[in-house]
Chains A and B, each alone.
Chain A
C-alpha cells in the first residue's frame, strides 16, 4: 500500500478501493458517497455503508497517529470475491491495548446473533465515556451486520506501537 499517497483516494475500479490518510469528517463523507453511488442498487448497501461508517469513525477516533486536529490516520480497503464483500481497516495502536481489543473481539466472535443483540442493548445503555472502550459498541454493531466472525491482526511496529487491522466480511447473497 506504500505507493498510494496519503490523503488521496482512488475510484472504485474492479470493485477495489483503497484510502490511506486522515479520516476527517469530509474524507469519510466523500468515501461514503462513493460507496452509496457504487452500491445504489445492491440489497446490502445499507450494511456496507453502516460497517464503513463504524469502521472509519473508529480509526478517526482511536488511531495513535493523529494530526493537529486530533483526527486519526489509517487505511481503509474495500474488495470483493465471488462470495463476499470485504471491508478492511488498519491503524496504529499502543501495544498495551492490543490485548484488550483482542479480548473484546474474541468475546464477540463466539456469540450468535441473538446474544450479540442482547450485548448491544446492554452496551448502548452504559453511560457515555470518553475512554477507548467506546469502540466496543461499534465492534458489536459491525459483527451483527456482518453475520460472520470479525477477523483481525496485530503486527508489532516497535516497542510502543502495533498496527491493528480489522476485516469485516459481508455475504453478497443472490
Chain B
C-alpha cells in the first residue's frame, strides 16, 4: 500500500492493490505531476482481471486538477469497456451544493456505474 500524505495544497492519496482513494483539497499548480502515481496505477490495471474500487472526496479542486479528473474518468471509461468490474464513489460535503453540481457535470458522460455520496 502506498500513502501520499496530504499537504497544504494536495489531498491524501491511498493506493492499494485494488483500491484508490483521494481525499482532501487539491490545488497544486502542477497537477499532472502530482497525480502521476494515480495515472501509473490506472495504467497497471489495464488488461488485468482485477476488480477495482475508486473513491474521490474533494473539499476543493482547482482548474488544474479538473484536467486530471477528466483524464482519470476517461481512463475509467476505457477500463469499463474492457469489462472490468469497477466500483466508483464520489463523495461531497452536505453543504457543498456547488461541488455536487460539478460532480454531476464531470460524470455526465460516464459509461460506468457510479455512486454520489453525501457526507
Contact = CB atoms under 8 A, between A and B. Distances in A.
A89 interface: no
15 contacts: A25-B9, A28-B9, A46-B99, A49-B60, A50-B62, A50-B98, A53-B27, A57-B64, A60-B29, A61-B29, A117-B105, A124-B66, A124-B67, A138-B63, A141-B63
A110 B64 CA distance: 24
A39 interface: no
Interface string A33-54: 0000000000100110110011
B70 interface: yes
A29 interface: yes
B60 A46 contact: yes
Q: Which 9 A-B pairs have the closest CB atoms?
A: A29-B8, A137-B63, A124-B66, A141-B63, A124-B67, A53-B27, A138-B63, A46-B98, A53-B62
B96 interface: yes
A128 B32 contact: yes
A57 B95 CA distance: 26
Interface residues of A, number: 23
A160 interface: no
Interface of B: 8-9, 27, 29, 32, 60, 62-64, 66-67, 70, 95-96, 98-99, 105
B63 A54 contact: yes
Contacts of A25: 8-9, 29
Contacts of B96: 46
B32 A54 contact: no
Contact of B70 (A29, A47, A124): A124
A159 interface: no
Contacts of A14: none
Given A25-B9, A46-B98, A53 B60 contact: yes
